[in-house]
Structure 1
């Protein structure tokens, strides 16, 4: 599979405790974890892929992104020997990375999609990966397990709709409590060839995108605070893994 880029639009809609909406532009990579993009040396600072930025390390062998996916599946009793794994994620740009959401589509050796891993990252460096069935355009339900926002507790459940990207990317995640949506986020975009020209072009329209994205999310948190949204304290999370930034 040839790598691709998606020029993305992210929207966030909070319905409770206060109504708040914002959107931002950016871009994401769509890659085969066994065949990560090999860019010219002079361009590598703007697109570097590190296994440490995702999931948990393997118990044995080389620490690669594929090994981390396999370990995550094996820990849950799943094996996909020889199957392709594609991923939607952000690369490190000038040493910094922030992936609010990384998605891995896991296929068996016959090319059939078997599992989807949706990994959520918080701005404080915590992350949690949810293993989902391949529901296509229909959402899959999963219990929320990570404190992400100071205005939302780590309760409720997510509905995640993450069909395989094609010419268009169309992902939706909604947080529900008492069968009512408290928060809805969307990620959509148009596919582009991962050419040198397109990588350079995206550095102009979305410079240092991971850093800007993290700062923008923090700014929205401040905005919610000024709107008197109640602040929810984070409960201790045992053995949580911090994301390396540099």
Structure 2
């Protein structure tokens, strides 16, 4: 789906914290659903939050955790990815939604970058996906006015799904509410998997960070462990594992 860019909206207040609920629902061949509470950051990649010294172990944003992990800054890593897709006008503000590194650990199943031109007009969204095998892949999307975009599935994530079909993503820029949807769809019209992320905006002050960290201790490790735990449950229910193909290094993530 190559729709026209979404109209310019009011700029979200950043940095922000979204305490949110992540929900996964699988409809076949085994029905399975779970929900997990966590929190995510929304930041301007050129103006990351200034975390007080004593709280820095609770929130770090490192370029090594994204794209190829070798760029000196988040902006440089993103620009390499955009250049690989021929995007030249996303040189304005970029908002990133992600987990921060917490107590030395980070795992981001999905990091989103809303890219704008210098006039503030939306250009594209980059969806950076990490799997539990240490691999990364980026999808370039151009959502329409409804926030929807389709993109072919090119990356092995769940061991129970083959690399086939396409994703339908609804990715409106977060505001007072965070409301994202990612669906795996097949050409026959079936939708075997849906993930949603929903939460509410909070200014990212020291008190908010401490509260979120206390309510969701070691949040990124819990996300990683939760994914593996759900995988074990599905395996014990007899869901077959699909072979993992070799994932070629993606241009722009060297």
TM-score (norm 2): 0.90
Mapped contact 1:46–1:93 kept (Cα < 8 A): yes
Shift of 1:240: 6.5
Q: Return the match for 1:42 from 54, 57, 62.
A: 54
Whole-Å separation in 2 of the counterparts to 1:105 and 1:81: 9
Which residue number in structure 2 is paired with residue 29 of structure 1? 41
Q: Count matched residues.
A: 239
Mapped contact 2:90–2:123 kept (Cα < 8 A): no
Runs of 5+ unmatched residues, structure 1? none
Q: Return the match for 1:152 from 144, 161, 164.
A: 161
Mapped contact 2:21–2:37 kept (Cα < 8 A): yes
Which residue number in structure 1 is paired with residue 148 of structure 2? 139
The answer to whether residue 74 in structure 2 is matched with residue 55 in structure 1 is no
Mapped contact 2:45–2:74 kept (Cα < 8 A): yes
The answer to whether residue 138 in structure 2 is matched with residue 126 in structure 1 is no
Shift of 1:69: 1.0
Which residue number in structure 1 is paired with residue 92 of structure 2? 83
Whole-Å separation in 2 of the counterparts to 1:7 and 1:136: 26
Mapped contact 1:139–1:162 kept (Cα < 8 A): yes
Q: Counterpart of 2:243 in 1: which secondary structure?
A: coil
Whole-Å separation in 2 of the counterparts to 1:240 and 1:44: 32
TM-score (norm 1): 0.93
Q: Counterpart of 2:41 in 1: which secondary structure?
A: strand
The answer to whether residue 226 in structure 2 is matched with residue 204 in structure 1 is no
Q: Counterpart of 2:222 in 1: which secondary structure?
A: helix
Q: Counterpart of 1:8 in 2: which secondary structure?
A: strand
Q: CA RMSD in A?
A: 1.7
Shift of 1:16: 1.8
Q: Cα gap change, 1:184/1:207 in structure 2, threshold over 3 Å: closer, same or farther? A: same
**1:44-84, Cα deviation, whole Å (9 max, x unpaired):** 011000111112367xxx61001111111111111136400
